[in-house]
Amino acid sequence: MANRKELDILFKATKISKSFGDFKANIDIDISIKKGEIHALLGENGAGKSTLVKIFYGVLKPDFGTIEVNNHIVNISSPKSARDNGIGMVFQHFSLFPALTVAENIFIALDKKIIFKNLISEISSLSKEWELFIDPMRLVSELSVGEQQRVEIIRCLMQNPKLLIMDEPTSVLTPQEIENLFKILKRLSSSGCSILYISHKLEEIIELADQVTILKSGKCVSTLNAKTTSTKELAETMVGKKIIKLKKSSVIDNSKNVALEVINLNKIKDNNFGITLKNINLKINYGEILGVAGIAGNGQIELMEMLSGEAICENNDEILLDNIPIGATNITSRRKLGIEPIPEERTLHATVPNLAMNHNTFLTYYYKYQNTKNFFSNFLINPQNSLEESNKIIKDNDVRCPEPNPLANQLSGGNLQKFILGRSMANDPKVAIFSQPTWGVDIGAATSIRQKLLNLSQKGKAIILISQDLEEIFELSDKVCVINNGVLSDILSVNEMSASDVGLLMGANVNNLKKSEIL
């Protein structure tokens, strides 16, 4: 008979292994979760966390290993069978349809048959009960990311889960939304629902979790009691070495020249889900980092498009580089002039997922190879001549690859980001524009990416850092502003703004973001 301890265990996975080709993403992983326990899953990028929870939710099939729910071995062959076993999941990248309403999105994902009208009242009552306020009739495209997450959580709650899995739920939320989410998770856990929670944020894990399992290179290296561990111990166990602190020089040099200037830039949105940029003004000097904070979906993508030259300004003098108008030039011309965009979407924007790294180097910077000997071979353009450079980028930037010259989609998020950054820096830009550079990247890779940004600014480069991560903004920036509904706030020195000032500007509902008018 099962002893008392085993009766407390809701979910137990034993010796879970999963390979992609020759690459072992999960190796003999054991994890057990008690009823009502909040169990965190921590690990560097590429450690195998998402793979593991996809196995638990039936999205991936393990090569080996068993899963038990309530002491019975179960076969989780699909998400539906996961849900039948009481397992719900909120994904890292949401799976909602923007053109449908909240209720329609929930309706199409439900296993049980329910009359649409009853569904709406069920959503309303769940949303009241759990303080996950959401109007079931609103279009998902009109919701903030935090609100979209509420929809996903409600959708899970409707299935009465015994185990709720969340893959990096807070990387997209404001501090206020995070607080709210934690309240809900704590309430869920005290009502007996277990939670498996992936996060890169160590403080969060300490605050929220009971237990924490740490993965490294596909293996489980440790399970610790979150109540007695420290952020330092977590970080060091995860990375397997001592964490180096960021080095920032505090000297502010007023003699620096203006690198990039944006003057009264306007851009009307070109699709229903876009944001109109309204009279954007900004100025950045060489050697400075300008942080642009804001909740996703407030014009960051559009701003990036305008600055990079993916979208072209109506007037050439809406953007100046070294005092010379460049607003009407395209992305390749701007790259040649020294402006490097490092976009938010690593796959499908910064890279083509099913092309090899050298092809990805070639496609972005084909003009660099135009004068090389083998540019044309057999009347075709030959990407081989970028192999040497792409291998150098991989080596110089500690990009960990499962094989030589892999496809972009074979790399983990953090490693792909290191590659993209290295590829841009090989151009020795004057101005680098980063959008969410450490989104979903583990603390080890994030620290190395942030240190690179600081080093670049200390070398005199101008850096625009568009980020939702306030800690990152404050850690790196010399000056800060906020983008909210296509409007850019005043730019102030970091010493003049606190994180809560920025949080207020991010959440404010205004058309004119003057600090003095809001704070």
Closest distance to ligand ADP from the beta carbon of 48 (Å): 4
Is 444 a binding residue for ligand ADP by CB under 6 A? The answer is no
Out of 171, 412, 436, 438, the only residue in the binding site for ligand ADP (CB under 6 A) is: 412
Residue closer to ligand ADP by CB (options 283, 400) is 400
User: How many residues are given for the chain?
Assistant: 519
Stretch that binds Mg ion, among 13-21, 47-55, 75-83, 286-294 (CB under 5 A): 47-55
Distance of alpha carbon 294 from alpha carbon 488, whole angstroms: 10
Q: In the numeric block, which tokens belong to residue 485? A: 């509904």
Residue closer to Mg ion by CB (options 50, 489) is 50
Q: In the numeric block, which tokens belong to residue 331? A: 């992305």
Beta strands in 55-151 (DSSP E): 64-69, 72-74, 87-90
Is 174 a binding residue for ligand ADP by CB under 6 A? The answer is no
Is 424 a binding residue for ligand ADP by CB under 6 A? The answer is no
Q: Point out which residues pair with 356 in neighbouring strands.
A: 407
Using a 10 angstrom Cβ sphere, with 0-12 exposed, 13-18 middle and 19 or more buried, the burial of residue 203 is: exposed
State the binding partner of 48 from ligand ADP, Mg ion, none, CB within 5 to 8 A by kind. ligand ADP
351-355, Cβ contacts within 8 angstroms, sequence gap of 24 or more: 351/408, 351/416, 351/419, 351/420, 352/408, 353/407, 353/408, 353/409, 354/407, 354/408, 354/409, 355/407, 355/408
Using a 10 angstrom Cβ sphere, with 0-12 exposed, 13-18 middle and 19 or more buried, the burial of residue 390 is: buried
Is 199 a binding residue for ligand ADP by CB under 6 A? The answer is no
Closest distance to ligand ADP from the beta carbon of 394 (Å): 14
Q: Point out which residues pair with 196 in neighbouring strands.
A: 39, 165
Is 50 a binding residue for ligand ADP by CB under 6 A? The answer is yes
Sign of CA dihedral 363, 366, 372, 373: positive
3-state class of 100 per DSSP?
coil
Is 50 a binding residue for Mg ion by CB under 5 A? The answer is yes
Is 62 a binding residue for ligand ADP by CB under 6 A? The answer is no
Instruction: Give which of 89, 290, 68, 300 is closest to 198, Cα–Cα.
Output: 89
Out of 37, 39, 46, 86, the only residue in the binding site for ligand ADP (CB under 6 A) is: 46
470-483 burial code (b ≥16 CB/10 A, e <16): bebbbbbbbbbbbb
Is 47 a binding residue for ligand ADP by CB under 6 A? The answer is yes
Is 410 a binding residue for ligand ADP by CB under 6 A? The answer is yes
Closest distance to ligand ADP from the beta carbon of 53 (Å): 8
Closest distance to Mg ion from the beta carbon of 50 (Å): 3
State the binding partner of 429 from ligand ADP, Mg ion, none, CB within 5 to 8 A by kind. none
Which parts of 143-202 interact with Mg ion (CB under 5 A)? none
Stretch that binds ligand ADP, among 18-26, 142-150, 177-185, 488-496 (CB under 6 A): 18-26
> Which residues contact Mg ion by CB under 5 A?
50
> Which residues contact ligand ADP by CB under 6 A?
20, 23, 25, 43, 45-51, 410-413
